[in-house]
Amino acid sequence: MANIRIPTPLRVFTGSESQVAVEGDTVGAALANLTVRYPELRQHLYDGEALRNFVNVYLGEDDVRFLDGLATAIDADTSLRIIPSIAGGL
Amino acid sequence: MTRQPVVSQLGTLSNDEIHRYGRHVIMPEFGIEGQRRLKASSVLLIGTGGLGSPLALYLTAAGVGRIGLVDYDVVEHTNLQRQIIHGESTVGVLKTESAERRMKDLNPFIQIDRYDVPLTSDNALEILAPYDVIIDGTDNFPTRYLVNDACVKLGKPNVYGSILRFEGQLSVFYAKEGPCYRCMFPEPPPPGLVPSCAEGGVLGVLPGTIGTMQATEGIKLITGIGDPMIGRMLLYDALDMTFSTIKVRKDPHCPVCSIPAEQVELIDYEEFCGVPSHDHAPTHAAAHAGVSARAVGASAGSGVSSNGGHDVNYDLDAPVPQMTPIELKALFDRGEHPFIVDVRNEPELEVAVIAEAGVDSVLIPKPQVLIAVDEIVSGRKTADQTVIGQIPRDRDVLFLCRSGVRSTDVINALREVGYDPARLINIQGGILAWSRQVDPSVPLY
């Protein structure tokens, strides 16, 4: 089980939910379960089996790419965060 | 903590200036030396809007010696909800001029440079070159990538701030000492996924929060005090009132900051991002203003390009047919019932609607259209299995949004999945134009 924080631009795919609790022992399993629940998210997160270049998934203050990537182990208390690319300023 | 300041020169302060900056110079970390460094420094602000307003005000007040402003917009009433450097008295005035007036009133001891032009790959290096610190307060992806690449090429720090709705981000991208913007975001999100503030909205105070922190980072870089946000990003959520800091790593394979700076080439960023670098309605609309939608519709089907599985080839490059509010009013007056797709978000309907639009009209917000189009393109659903199944193909359909930008985006998306371009007609200028030209009782927002 992990808690995934959904950024504003992706909430359109999660019925406006900002936090989603999902099962999974790894980052990859948690994200996969997230996209099972919200299938439209998949194409925005994945390019084939890998995360898309512009999708940054963080565990704590670390990008999971610099941990063990999608194989990074997580537990019930883990909070994951998808960091969005946003451009507003005006 | 102290570090090498970005500015090595020390300016000269008059007694009047020392008096003005008294609260700075008495701090041991800052002192008269920090103030003299600020006086000698130069900062370029890209954008004089939500983020640019607090930036320009605080950097002016703090005594940065030279401030450049890049913006080609004019002040509108809708800006005043958050762009606090402007005011009622400068509505209709260039934002750079409006800002300059306020800045001169706030501090007569600084130099202000105005660049009333769009920042482009052709002029960016020349405009950025004279400045010590670049602060990115723009509103679109193409300009953000342009500012990043130009900063990497010129070896300058880029104080980054970005906002949407209730969320903000802050970082310092400085390739000499850490990662650049592309290390964190190597490529832009697909066009349409991330709304601009004009589409998605923004809490008026939010740019104040983020812009003020950008100003803080700029002053820290100039004076060498504190620990700047190089290699870190601050994430702010106004609803939860949480601040989190994450690490941003330098990508050893970054296409921009991993190569020698002199080899960095500025590219076509609108093509790279697939979106224009501004928020305005397409200018080509004006060229077709006099063409009635019916007349354009009559020339349907002159095909040159494939349209994703349909039998007929349509000209996907043809200009989007436009209908002016006056022409739309004439339709209503003749008793016709045009099919109107309103692509705004639901809360916007509580603000303004076209009262004459009847039962043939539907609300399908732009994000839902784009999701549906993705599903169709990826082969997971047919059009009839999605929300766009409601849009008829056998008659002209009008598209409405606030200003005409989102409706144009939706039309272009529908063209990609086989809708006849000649039957998808944009209501030119959106409901704003309807209010201005037909029904002033509809509020502008």
Which ipTM value was assigned to this complex? 0.92
Query: If DSSP states are collapsed to H, E and C, what string results for B241-263?
Result: CEEEEEECCCCCCCCCCCCCHHH
Q: Flag whether residue A63 sits within 8 Å of chain B, measured between CB atoms.
A: yes
Domain A2-83, CATH among 3.40.50.720, 1.10.3720.10, 3.10.20.30, 1.10.150.530: 3.10.20.30
Residue in B161, B184, B187 closest to A89 by CB: B161
pLDDT of residue B2: 63
Residue length, chain A? 90
Q: What is the pLDDT of residue B278?
A: 60
| CATH code of the domain containing B314 | 3.40.250.10
Shared domain check, B354 and B428: yes
pLDDT in tens, A40-73: 888 888 888 888 888 899 999 999 989 999 999 9
Task: Chain A: give the shortest CA distance to residue B442, in Å.
Answer: 25
Please tell me whether residues B183 and B296 are part of one structural domain.
no
Q: Name the residue type at position B272.
A: F
Which of B230, B253, B273 is a domain's end point? B273
CA B273 to chain centre: 13
Asked if B269 and B291 sit in the same domain, the reply is no
Helix (H, G, I), strand (E, B) or coil at B168: strand
Q: Is residue B357 part of a domain?
A: yes
Q: Which of B211, B223, B157, B176 is CA-nearest to residue B1?
A: B223
Give dist(CA B218, CA B297) in Å, integer: 54
B197 is known as an active-site residue: yes
Q: Which of B273, B293, B328 is a domain's end point?
A: B273
Asked if B175 and B315 sit in the same domain, the reply is no
Contact criterion met (CB below 8 Å) for B424 and B320: yes
Total number of domains constituting chain B: 2
Neighbours of B278 (CB within 10 A): 19
Q: Using an 8 Å Cβ cutoff, are B72 and B48 in contact?
A: no
Q: Is residue B444 part of a domain?
A: no
A38, A79, A86: best to mutate for the B interface, most B CBs within 10 A: A86
Q: Do A89 and B200 touch (CB under 8 A)?
A: no
A83, B195: Cβ pair inside 8 Å? no
Question: What range does the domain containing B145 cover?
Answer: 15-273
- The answer to whether A59 touches A27, Cβ cutoff 8 Å, is yes
Instruction: Give the residue from A7, A35, A83, A43 showing the smallest Cα distance to B200.
Output: A7
Residue B160 backbone dihedrals phi, psi, to 5 degrees: -100, 135
B345 shares a domain with B253 = no
pLDDT for res B301: 33
Asked whether the beta carbons of residue B245 and residue A8 sit closer than 8 angstroms, the reply is no
Give the largest CA-CA distance in chain A: 41
Q: Are residues B248 and B388 in the same domain?
A: no
The DSSP annotation for B271-331 comes to: HHHTS-SS-SPPTHHHHTTTS-HHHHHTTTT---B--SS-SS-B-TTSPPPEE-HHHHHHH
B273 in catalytic set: no
Beta bridge mates, B330: none
Residue B22 falls inside a structural domain: yes
Q: What is the pLDDT of residue B23?
A: 96
**Residues B224 and B324 placed together within one structural domain of the fold:** no
B238 within domain boundaries: yes
CA distances (Å), B18 to each of B15, B28, B33, B38, B184, in order? 5, 15, 11, 12, 41
Query: Do B188 and B299 fall within a single domain?
Result: no
* Of residues B136, B244, B367, nearest to A12 (C-beta): B367
Our CA-based measurement puts residue A51 at a distance from the nearest CA of chain B, in whole angstroms, of: 13
B160 and B204 fall within a common domain? yes
Residues 6+ apart with CB under 8 A from A60: A79
A58 touches B at CB < 8 Å: yes
**Ramachandran angles phi, psi of B147, nearest 5°:** -60, -40
- The residue of B73, B78, B95, B193 whose CB has the most chain A CBs within 10 angstroms, and thus the best one to mutate to test that interface, is B193
Beta-carbon contacts below 8 Å between A and B: 111
Of A8, A56, A61, the CB nearest to B245: A61
Q: Indicate the pTM of the whole model.
A: 0.80
On chain A, the residues whose CB falls within 8 A of the CB of B244 are 61, 81
Nearest to A89 among B47, B184, B194 (CB): B47
- Verify whether the Cβ–Cβ distance A53 to B279 is below 8 Å: no
**CB B239: neighbour CB atoms within 10 A?**
10
Question: Is residue B278 domain-resident?
Answer: no
Q: Are residues B217 and B325 in the same domain?
A: no
Distance from CA of A29 to the nearest CA of B (A): 23
Q: What CATH number is attached to the domain comprising B225?
A: 3.40.50.720
Q: Are residues B206 and B300 in the same domain?
A: no
Which backbone phi and psi does B309 adopt, to 5 degrees?
100, -5
If asked whether residues B205 and B300 sit together in one domain, one would say no
Local structure of residue B113 (DSSP, 8 states)? E
Last residue of a domain, one of B238, B273, B308: B273
Nearest CB to A88: which of B164, B233, B367? B164
Sequential pLDDT tens for chain B (445 residues): 568 999 999 999 999 999 999 999 999 999 999 999 999 999 999 999 999 999 999 999 999 999 999 999 999 999 999 999 999 999 999 999 999 999 999 999 999 999 999 999 999 999 999 999 999 999 999 999 999 999 999 999 999 999 999 999 999 999 999 999 999 999 898 877 777 787 788 999 999 999 999 999 999 999 999 999 999 999 999 998 999 999 999 999 999 999 999 999 999 999 999 887 764 433 333 333 333 333 333 333 333 333 333 445 677 778 999 999 999 999 999 999 999 999 999 889 999 999 988 777 899 999 889 888 988 888 888 999 999 999 999 999 999 999 999 999 999 999 989 899 999 999 999 999 999 999 999 999 9
Q: Which of B138, B140, B185 to mutate to test the interface with A (most CBs of A within 10 A)?
A: B185
Q: What is the pLDDT of residue A5?
A: 94
How confident is the model at residue B1, as a pLDDT? 56
SS3 B160: strand
Report the alpha-carbon distance of residue B9 to residue B394 in Å, rounded: 70
Subunit contact A89:B167, Cβ cutoff 8 A: no
Domain contains B169: yes
Q: Does the beta-carbon distance from A83 to B246 stay under 8 Å?
A: yes
Task: Quickly tell me which residue has 């965060």 as its tokens.
Answer: A81
* Whole-angstrom distance, CA of residue A60 vs CA of residue B193: 25
* Shortest CA distance from B48: residue in chain A: A90
**CA nearest to B69, candidates B145, B142, B127:** B127
Among B151, B180, B197, B273, which one carries the catalytic annotation? B197
